[in-house]
Amino acid sequence: MNLKKVKIGNLHTPNNVFLAPLAGYTNSVFRAVCRGLGAGLCFTEMVSAKGLCYKSEKTEQLLLTDGSGGINAAQIFGNDPEFMRRACESEALAPFELIDINMGCPVPKIFKNGEGSALMNDIPLAEKIISECKKSGKLISVKFRTGLDETRIITAEFAKACAGAGADMITVHGRTRDKMYSGEVNYGEIAAAKNAVNIPVIANGGVFCAADADKLLSETGADGVAVARGAMYRPWIFAEITGVENYDKRDIVRGQLRKTREIYGEKFACVFMRKMISFYLKGTKNAVFYKEKLFKAQTTCEVSDILETVNF
């Protein structure tokens, strides 16, 4: 893969391999893990703009940072331009240089609220949200899909609207909303977005190994790739793509467990790391056996003991 820096406004990323926002997963510790393995930019999980405006403690906790360096990037969602701007101006988002607007989430609850990918059905509102967020003085990116379904493909049109409203970067998930997270990635539509605008375009969808990233970049001509579920199962995918060497998977997970407990507490760390280690074991020998043991673990000490016996 052709590694290069990406210029987003006045920012320059170390490379063009990014961690996409993953609801429920891209907390501060996981972002630090991925950054340490080579990710050039890591986004928080999506947070509610209204939750930030109303100073929801639960919402603000999603924006914890670990101070490990790198560009701080957050993703917000909502459908009210004023609330979106106020969220960008909030104290909770003060540490973040780049704010991504979620216009691609396909989850029914979000869609029915007129948020996420539903905004692709109302381009004037999407433009208004972007232009209002830009008033905050923050750099703004937008993540969206190719359309709502195969009868409503609007990738290039929506890309132009985002750029025209002031977006500094866009990320295109190469599937329609109805496909959710499965099916073929439409390289041609991501390429159409790239050809339609003069801001950085990041390609997203179907990256589970270095070869996938290389193909996505070469087929679309995009400026970079964003890894989502591939990172959830294998955070070392960033090392494989960027050429980072001499990393120890078990040691990485040990550190993730320890830092997750320190920052988020025993209960959260136990439940979260049981799940994450189970993901990391996908495709390995005796994975089912170890997963059964993990989900019976009641403390992080038990999780740690199991971790020392697994073979990544």
- Residues taking part in catalysis: 105
Q: Is the dihedral of CA 14, 19, 20, 24 positive or negative?
A: negative
Instruction: Decide: 90 and 60 in contact? Cβ < 8 Å.
Output: no
Closest CA to 41 of 27, 20, 62: 20
> What phi and psi values does residue 90 have, to the nearest 5 degrees?
-70, 160
Distance of alpha carbon 290 from alpha carbon 274, whole angstroms: 10
Query: Residue 13 has which token pair?
Result: 């990323």
Task: Report the Cα 205 to chain-centroid distance in Å.
Answer: 11
Q: Is 24 left (phi over 0), alpha (psi -120 to 50) or beta?
A: left
Distance of alpha carbon 63 from alpha carbon 122, whole angstroms: 28
β-pair partners for 227: 19
CA distances for 4 relative to 12, 222, 228, 236, angstroms = 10, 12, 20, 19
> DSSP secondary structure string, 225-270?
EEESHHHHH-TTHHHHHHT--S--HHHHHHHHHHHHHHHH-HHHHH
Distance of alpha carbon 190 from alpha carbon 179, whole angstroms: 16
Query: Residue 113 has which token pair?
Result: 């609220």
Closest CA to 41 of 83, 81, 12, 84: 12
Q: How many CB atoms sit inside 10 A of residue 16's CB?
A: 25
